[in-house]
Chain A
Amino acid sequence: GENVEQHPSTLSVQEGDSAVIKCTYSDSASNYFPWYKQELGKRPQLIIDIRSNVGEKKDQRIAVTLNKTAKHFSLHITETQPEDSAVYFCAAFSTNTGNQFYFGTGTSLTVIP
């Protein structure tokens, strides 16, 4: 099946700086890559996603880039704010072993005021 690796596991940035989280995947058939934000004790919520026919997508301070050749995708958060502090998960959707989402192990982001 698909294997998704996510780095770093923890990330601390000063407020206003940028944060970058990277994920790699193994299955070339994966074609949809969502990013989720999970605040402590809460449910994961989708913040941005990208499909395999697109190289980059932006939504205000958040952007995702995808390199299909290298099988990696990244989340970029600019002008970070304390409310961005949370755990972020990447995922890859693969049809090779059934219609399944495979999740990374998460990045705990702390934005220091």
Chain B
Amino acid sequence: NAGVTQTPKFRILKIGQSMTLQCAQDMNHNYMYWYRQDPGMGLKLIYYSVGAGITDKGEVPNGYNVSRSTTEDFPLRLELAAPSQTSVYFCASSYSLSPGQGYNEQFFGPGTRLTVL
């Protein structure tokens, strides 16, 4: 059971380049999330998904796109990278979001450190 995995661990992009950050979980979680963490700041939600085929915007979605074709995978796409997207990106998953329905714990991946120059 690998939990939540992310690739790559590190990446340097030039302004205007594109890339996809990969995220996968093997816990059969229905909810998945993408966060960015800027230095000295908390986590900001970029996009989330409540199941395959369903995605929704978080607090800071501009400049990003996601897809969820399977329960396991939730890739994050950066188009036209900008220096403002320099950050650490965390993917997370959870079984349920409703306190009354059971387990809410979010499990985080190890993160991807992205630098845009």
Contact = CB atoms under 8 A, between A and B. Distances in A.
Contacts of A34: 104-106
Interface string B90-117: 1000000101000011101111000000
Interface stretch (B17-25, B42-50, B65-73): B42-50
B46 to A, nearest CB: 11
A100 B104 contact: no
Nearest to A54: B99
Given A1-B59, A32-B104, A98-B56, A106 B40 contact: yes
Interface in A1-57: 1, 4, 6, 31-32, 34, 42-46, 49, 51-52
Given A1-B59, A105-B42, A106-B41, A45 B48 contact: no
Taking chain A's interface residues, is the majority helix, strand, or loop, or is none over half, making it mixed?
strand
Contacts of B44: 103
Contacts, number: 61
A105 B109 contact: no
Contacts of A93: 97, 99, 104
Interface residues of B, number: 25
Contacts of A45: 108
A89 interface: yes
Interface of B: 31, 33, 35, 40-45, 48, 50, 56-59, 90, 97, 99, 104-106, 108-111
15 contacts: A32-B104, A42-B110, A43-B90, A43-B109, A44-B43, A44-B90, A45-B108, A89-B42, A99-B48, A99-B97, A101-B43, A101-B106, A103-B44, A106-B41, A106-B42
In the complex, the 9 A-B pairs of residues with the closest C-beta atoms, listed nearest first: A103-B42, A43-B108, A103-B43, A99-B97, A51-B99, A105-B42, A32-B99, A46-B105, A44-B108
